[in-house]
Amino acid sequence: ERNLRLLEKIPPAGSLLKVVEALDDKNNIKLLRILIPTKNMDAEVATGMIFPLVWLTFIAVWTRGAYRAGIGFAALFSLPFWSTGLWLLKSVLAPVIQETEVVLSPTAFSIAYDMFKIGWLNINYRWLVKGKSTDITGCSVETLSYLNGQPIKHVVLRAGVNSYAFGHALKYVEKEHIVMEILEYLRQNVGIDLSQGY
């Protein structure tokens, strides 16, 4: 639409979140855009990389040994272990290599996961999900997994039978802020009040 005015909302102190509303001439909110940018490599990510790298090194040595011993078929046995190691490494690196954008309009929503948007390394593999805003049945902060006994909480947007998780590397206050913004937008612009639950 034309003549939309952008209003950047204030995120929690110290947060890199970008929350923008697009308003029309009558101050009606037409669009809500939430951007979760990549974060810098820090000690948490660096120490989290230790186990996946040790895992992958062990698998590399084992696979090379099996191949050099002339039993290349046995090296194929390592494929599930390679995929597990790469998945572990991707999980640890996600906050550094993945940017997430959530966009809501009165009729539709989308969540875009952009991978490898690292400064000059802008390869940009994009995974995009879309749906109808009227299909959204919930948005909350939920524990989806555990790491070393600690809960890993995500923002979870539910639409019908589908659930979309994002923002696991954010601080809890940032996750709550995203949920609050989404629920408020849905209440004001889509006519869905999820504050009471079902």
Looking at the predicted structure, is the pLDDT value of residue 198 above 50? no
Compute the 3-state secondary structure of the chain and give helix, strand, coil in percent, each to the nearest 5: 35, 40, 25
pLDDT digit string (tens) for 22-78? 887 776 778 999 999 887 777 877 888 899 999 999 999 999 888 888 887 777 888
The SS3 call for residue 131 is: strand
Neighbours of 92 (CB within 10 A): 21
pLDDT at 103: 95
Q: Looking at beta carbons, which pairs linking 145-148 to residues 24 or more positions away fall under 8 Å?
A: none
Q: The whole model's pTM is what?
A: 0.75
Looking at the predicted structure, is the pLDDT value of residue 130 above 90? yes
